[in-house]
Amino acid sequence: MNNYEENTIVCRCEDITLKEIRGLITQGFETLDEVKRICRCGMGPCQGRTCQQIVMGEIAKATGKDIKDVKVSTFRPPVESIKLGILAEAAGGEDEK
């Protein structure tokens, strides 16, 4: 069991294992936002598209809630990562008033 928890990567961007996630939930980090802030799970380039569902499932399991009652994190734009240079070009020459 321990091996399985240690070898399962929940957040690939930030390299966080199932064991770490379960440990944090046990310590009282019982919402997605709290888990995210303490270990960066979901803050990497994919913005939680891989790990969010898994962490929500773990929170539901540990707290006895239905997964539909586990609050999702606020969606943070942009939808896809975008280069600063492309944005700068789009801005053109005018300064914001």
Residue (1 or 86) nearer to other proteins, CB: 86
In whole angstroms, what is the distance from residue 68 CA to residue 57 CA? 10
Contact window for other proteins (CB under 8 A) among 2-10, 15-23, 57-65, 71-79: 71-79
Q: Cα–Cα–Cα angle for 35, 46, 3, nearest 5°?
A: 55
CA-angle at 77, arms to 75 and 82, nearest 5°: 145
85: which 2 tokens?
A: 């240079």
Bridge partners, 16 (sequence order): 11
Q: Select the residue interacting with other proteins from 22, 34, 53, 54 (CB under 8 A).
A: 34
> Is residue 90 part of the contact set for other proteins (CB under 8 A)?
yes
Interacting residue ranges for other proteins, rule: CB under 8 A: 31, 33-34, 37-38, 40, 43-45, 47, 74, 76-78, 81-88, 90-92, 96-97
